[in-house]
């Protein structure tokens, strides 16, 4: 009796030729003898590598390229000493040139739109965002975990990929320089502190927020919106979930500026982490929507009002703006920021519920912008947006798969994708930001 190739176990080393990029910071490889699929980190398409298995599943395995036998011409030496197999999980592409990183990100977006929305786009490019330094020193918000170093000291660190295990670090090269010089990195952490949130706002030095464990498990939805190297979550190797740490004292406010507008928010409130992102996104949203005096604008997942404020300025006192945000603290901040525009208001309500009310009341919206969390808006929200009969919709997406699913739903309801920008707002990682313009089919 013959048996097929053995199912690999964690720690096994396989020699594979690497295929195309996949969403999530992996490339796809297949074992020749049985077609077993491997999702391999720290490699590039076309390379031949020895891959060490890190996780096993029924139809695929995850692995790290621990030895490169034939390298891609786009491979570079990672600038960060904490990057690489078995090291910090925050960066996926430090071993690739910036040009290659952006080429791969564009391919991921193309693949997701083709597979999930039925759209074939040939001219997708991933563009840089002003404000980083050759892909480094851009992250203005980093949450460090705490571990013990070789000397037994409690020190800050960053998590390994898909794990709660923490690697001590003395710098993070994608972090803003103010975070690096905040005094947090390399310094002993007091007992009772399980994490340290460091924020480099639009002006001033970094703000440090010590974190401790909550008395009861909790989830902080907004902190998980964009993810990050210090974020808690499920340990896929151990199958457990830890509660998110909470501030040990009052959280200070920070001020961010976009154009002529200032936004004041909690240091732990959601704001784009790349210093050039908020301005770049706002400029594009306004250019595509081109809001006119007297129009009705809707800002969904509005946060502290980044888009609602300039929309209110554009539609003027004969128009209206409704900013919808489920997080009450963020909605209250949006309401403050809209004080100068009495024709605009913020609603502290889940987006799906707020839209259901508008549709039931027979309301319409001329222009809509939505910036949902990583999971996307979902079918109910997209269908409700279409029911409001907008002339233009801009979807700001931090996950291309979620965007593609929602674009597919929008197409079913008469809204077609007419323009797309892919922006490298998270260099060195697999993340990117997509801005999509949808218009009704005429």
- Known binding-site residue numbers for S-adenosyl-L-methionine: 272, 301, 325, 371
Distance CA 386, CA 106 (A): 27
409-432 burial: b if 16+ Cβ within 10 Å, else e? bbbeeebebeebbbbbbbbbbbbb
Residues 6+ apart with CB under 8 A from 75: 44, 47, 68, 95, 96, 97
Helix (H, G, I), strand (E, B) or coil at 328: helix
Distance CA 144, CA 168 (A): 10
Distances (CA, A) of 134 to 42, 89, 171, 201, 293: 20, 20, 17, 20, 40
Residues 6+ apart with CB under 8 A from 12: 52, 53
Neighbours of 171 (CB within 10 A): 13
The secondary element (H helix, E strand) that includes residue 391 is: none
CA 363 to chain centre: 32
Distance CA 225, CA 407 (A): 20
CA 15 to chain centre: 32
Q: Read off the tokens for 20.
A: 């195309």
Whether the CB-CB separation of 126 and 135 falls below 8 Å is answered with no
Residues 6+ apart with CB under 8 A from 359: 384, 387, 388
Distance CA 163, CA 172 (A): 18
The yes-or-no answer on residue 398 being catalytic is: yes
List the helix and strand counts (H, then E) for the chain: 8, 23
Q: Read off the tokens for 209.
A: 């927020």
Lookup result for tokens 């460091």: 198
Check 80, 88, 126, 398 and give the catalytic one: 398
Residues 6+ apart with CB under 8 A from 57: none
Among 10, 6, 98, which Cα is nearest to 51's?
A: 10
Annotated binding site: which residue ranges? Answer: 272, 301, 325, 371
Distance CA 123, CA 258 (A): 30
Q: Read off the tokens for 414.
A: 């008469």
Residues that are catalytic: 398
């Amino acid at each position: 009796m013959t048996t097929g190739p053995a199912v690999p176990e964690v720690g096994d080393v396989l020699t594979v030729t690497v295929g195309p990029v996949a969403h999530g910071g992996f490339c796809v490889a297949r074992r020749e003898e049985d077609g077993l699929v491997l999702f391999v980190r720290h490699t590039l398409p076309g390379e031949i590598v020895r891959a060490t298995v890190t996780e096993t599943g029924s139809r695929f395995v995850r692995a790290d390229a621990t030895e490169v036998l034939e390298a891609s011409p786009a491979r570079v030496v990672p600038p960060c000493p904490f990057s690489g197999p078995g090291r910090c999980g925050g960066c996926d592409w430090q071993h690739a040139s910036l040009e290659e990183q952006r080429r791969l990100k564009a391919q991921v977006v193309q693949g997701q739109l083709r597979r999930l929305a039925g759209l074939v786009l040939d001219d997708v490019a991933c563009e840089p965002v002003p404000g980083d330094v050759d892909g480094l020193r851009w992250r203005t918000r980093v949450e460090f975990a705490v571990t013990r170093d070789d000397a037994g000291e409690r020190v800050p660190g960053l998590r390994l990929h898909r794990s709660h295990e923490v690697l001590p670090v003395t710098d993070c090269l994608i972090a803003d320089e103010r975070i690096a010089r905040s005094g947090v990195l390399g310094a002993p952490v007091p007992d009772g502190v399980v994490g340290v949130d460091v924020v480099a706002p639009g002006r001033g030095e970094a703000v440090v927020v010590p974190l401790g464990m909550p008395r009861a498990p909790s989830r902080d939805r907004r902190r998980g919106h964009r993810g990050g190297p210090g974020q808690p979550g499920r340990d896929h190797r151990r199958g457990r979930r830890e509660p998110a740490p909470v501030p040990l004292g009052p959280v200070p406010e920070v001020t961010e500026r976009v154009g002529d507008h200032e936004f004041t928010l909690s240091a732990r409130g959601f704001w784009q982490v790349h210093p050039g992102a908020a301005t770049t996104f706002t400029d594009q949203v306004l250019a595509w929507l081109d809001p006119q005096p007297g129009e009705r604008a809707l800002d969904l997942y509005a946060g502290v009002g980044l888009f609602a404020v300039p929309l209110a300025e554009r539609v003027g006192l004969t128009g209206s703006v409704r900013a919808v945000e489920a997080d009450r603290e963020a909605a209250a901040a949006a309401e403050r920021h809209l004080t100068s525009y009495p024709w605009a208001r913020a609603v502290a309500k889940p987006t799906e519920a707020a839209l259901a009310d508008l549709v039931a009341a027979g309301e319409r919206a001329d222009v809509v912008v939505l910036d949902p969390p990583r999971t996307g808006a979902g079918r109910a929200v997209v269908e409700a947006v279409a029911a409001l009969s907008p002339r233009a919709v801009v979807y700001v997406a931090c996950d291309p798969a979620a965007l593609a699913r929602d674009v597919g739903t929008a197409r079913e309801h008469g809204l077609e994708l007419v323009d797309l920008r892919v922006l490298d707002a998270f260099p060195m990682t697999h993340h990117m930001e997509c801005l999509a313009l949808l218009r009704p089919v005429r």
